[in-house]
Chains A and B, each alone.
Chain A
């Protein structure tokens, strides 16, 4: 499997678009830092600067991870899963021999690896822009990078239904990509409609992920500043594990089924 992952990563070297897609992760941190800078007052000492950074970091978790990442996962999946079809190389891979299932696992592995790179990059951009523009004081960076990588992995799992759409509508990029954007936007829409109703939001993969990560981050901040916060219970974590476990299992079954249907 390691060799397969390596081969898939080599293939990506030819796809310049993926590097640019990853770099788009810089845009939201830049916008958020500029926005914060415009309304920033330098009063309040170190704690106020740290809180400003926390605010930008939390906003970036919402924008870069729960809105933008599912769209990018859909596009990346379209590039990854259509590569063999477009270049007519699937028959060569079958001759290795390589099963469709192995190929799917390798491609999903690449999706997760890419998500880790994207998470580190966008968090690095948040830290860099905040520090450069002087609109906050980055601190507790090990935790921030750790939770970002975890959020990237969880959001990728929550975005796997978009990958199912991509593979199901494999005839054309258009429908696949439009549906994966539709999936990301509909999650955002659910957040607006069911605002405050966590009983529903917690059962939607992307919103459930956002709520759990939000709780982890807020508790950490509360511990740092000595303030009170809604506690993170083991039930919250168990709920997310069940939700994303089911999302992963169902998505994987459907991806394998639809990909095999295409592969014949």
Chain B
């Protein structure tokens, strides 16, 4: 089955789940957070760059890692919980290809949520009376927010692949993604190699400024993101076959798969 068709069927499946609505609602939270911060009585003079920067930070360090880990985990674990994997495998589609299709759709959703964040951010800034700035500035922030979201999906992909074979495992992956993203808030030189911090180093012009003991470099940041992508590819390469049966059921029967008796 061609990858294009696989992606199309994954998009069809999205319609049946509440994933898109939940993701869109959560994607709006970064704007809510940015708006809320403008009410903090700390003497900040707001402009569009400062406002959209808060959206970028909130997306990268709070919301996007959680949303993508949860959505990615949900896409994959639903094939197990809904018992649809065996039907898909008869088409035949390899498990590796299926997972790759799901990750591509996840990246597409990341792009969509990025666009949503940016548009809501600009709308909120306009309603709050924040000065808008020139067109190239707005375009630059649009690219930053959207690209950052896609890169967060890349950075989170290894967690999704490692934890998505069962619902409870994908929930653990979500918690892990929360900590993983939260570490991006910390200013510390070794975090130059942390993929989420790397996104901020590459896309946030203010990242690490104001600290004389921190000098982030773009090259190690880019390499850490490339490493996340490489790990994703390696994980896909070793996931040639889907897990055959739940381990608990296998263990009860001396490692053999449990078969139903009679005609049922």
A binds B: yes
Nearest opposing residue in chain A for B174, CB measure: A177
Q: CA separation between A17 and B189, bound complex, in Å?
A: 32
Q: Establish whether residues B175 and A21, one from each chain, have CB atoms under 8 Å apart when the complex forms.
A: yes
Q: Establish whether residues A20 and B40, one from each chain, have CB atoms under 8 Å apart when the complex forms.
A: no
Type the 1/0 row for B39-82, where 1 means its CB is closer than 8 Å to any CB of A. 11010000000000000000000110011001100100000010
Q: CA separation between A24 and B69, bound complex, in Å?
A: 16
Q: Does B94 contact A (CB under 8 A)?
A: no
Nearest opposing residue in chain A for B67, CB measure: A178
Q: CA separation between A24 and B183, bound complex, in Å?
A: 13
CB A68 to nearest CB in B, in angstroms, measures 7
Contacts A38-B189, A178-B22, A178-B66: A68 and B171 contacting too (C-beta < 8 A)?
no
Stretch from B29-37, B98-106, B146-154, B218-226 that touches the partner: B29-37
Main secondary structure of the interface of A (DSSP, over half): helix
Q: CA separation between A122 and B26, bound complex, in Å?
A: 29
Nearest opposing residue in chain B for A63, CB measure: B182
Q: Establish whether residues B36 and A178, one from each chain, have CB atoms under 8 Å apart when the complex forms.
A: no
Q: Does A79 contact B (CB under 8 A)?
A: yes
Type the 1/0 row for B6-44, where 1 means its CB is closer than 8 Å to any CB of A. 000000000001110010011001000100110110100
Kindly identify, within residues 177 to 204 of chain A, every residue whose CB is under 8 Å from any CB belonging to chain B: 177-178, 181-182, 185, 189, 192-195
Kindly identify, within residues 176 to 214 of chain B, every residue whose CB is under 8 Å from any CB belonging to chain A: 176, 178-179, 182-183, 186, 188-190, 213
Contacts A31-B186, A79-B168, A178-B26: A195 and B175 contacting too (C-beta < 8 A)?
no
Residues of B within 8 A of A181 (CB): 66, 174, 178
Q: CA separation between A86 and B167, bound complex, in Å?
A: 10
Residues of B within 8 A of A16 (CB): 168-169
Q: CA separation between A182 and B179, bound complex, in Å?
A: 14
CB A201 to nearest CB in B, in angstroms, measures 13
Residues of A within 8 A of B179 (CB): 24, 27-28, 68
Give the contacting residue for A174; candidates B42, B63, B74, B182; CB below 8 A. B74
Residues of A within 8 A of B175 (CB): 21, 24, 68, 71-72, 75
Residues of B within 8 A of A249 (CB): none
Type the 1/0 row for A1-41, where 1 means its CB is closer than 8 Å to any CB of B. 00000000000001111101100100110010011001100
Nearest opposing residue in chain A for B189, CB measure: A38
Q: Does B87 contact A (CB under 8 A)?
A: no
Contacts A171-B18, A178-B70, A182-B26: A78 and B171 contacting too (C-beta < 8 A)?
yes
CB A179 to nearest CB in B, in angstroms, measures 9
Q: Does B248 contact A (CB under 8 A)?
A: yes
CB B62 to nearest CB in A, in angstroms, measures 6
CB B15 to nearest CB in A, in angstroms, measures 15
Give the contacting residue for B37; candidates A38, A174, A178, A193; CB below 8 A. A193
CB B189 to nearest CB in A, in angstroms, measures 7
CB A19 to nearest CB in B, in angstroms, measures 9
Q: Does B124 contact A (CB under 8 A)?
A: no
Q: Does B172 contact A (CB under 8 A)?
A: yes
Q: Establish whether residues B168 and A15, one from each chain, have CB atoms under 8 Å apart when the complex forms.
A: yes
Q: Establish whether residues A38 and B171, one from each chain, have CB atoms under 8 Å apart when the complex forms.
A: no
CB A74 to nearest CB in B, in angstroms, measures 9
Nearest opposing residue in chain A for B182, CB measure: A67
Q: Establish whether residues B168 and A189, one from each chain, have CB atoms under 8 Å apart when the complex forms.
A: no
Q: Establish whether residues A79 and B171, one from each chain, have CB atoms under 8 Å apart when the complex forms.
A: yes
CB B87 to nearest CB in A, in angstroms, measures 20
Q: Establish whether residues B183 and A21, one from each chain, have CB atoms under 8 Å apart when the complex forms.
A: no
Q: Establish whether residues A193 and B36, one from each chain, have CB atoms under 8 Å apart when the complex forms.
A: yes
A-B contact pairs, 12 of them (CB 8 A): A14-B248, A17-B169, A21-B172, A24-B175, A71-B175, A75-B174, A172-B17, A173-B74, A173-B167, A175-B22, A178-B67, A189-B33
For the complex of A and B, the 10 pairs showing the least CB-CB separation, nearest first, are A17-B168, A17-B172, A75-B171, A174-B22, A193-B40, A20-B172, A27-B179, A175-B22, A178-B26, A181-B66
Residue ranges of B at the interface with A (Cβ–Cβ < 8 Å)? 17-19, 22, 25-26, 29, 33, 36-37, 39-40, 42, 62-63, 66-67, 70-71, 74, 81, 166-169, 171-172, 174-176, 178-179, 182-183, 186, 188-190, 213, 248
For the complex with contacts A68-B179, A175-B22, A177-B70, 17 further pairs of A-B residues with Cβ separation under 8 Å are A17-B166, A17-B168, A24-B172, A24-B175, A24-B176, A38-B190, A75-B175, A86-B81, A172-B17, A175-B18, A178-B66, A182-B26, A185-B33, A185-B62, A189-B37, A193-B40, A195-B42
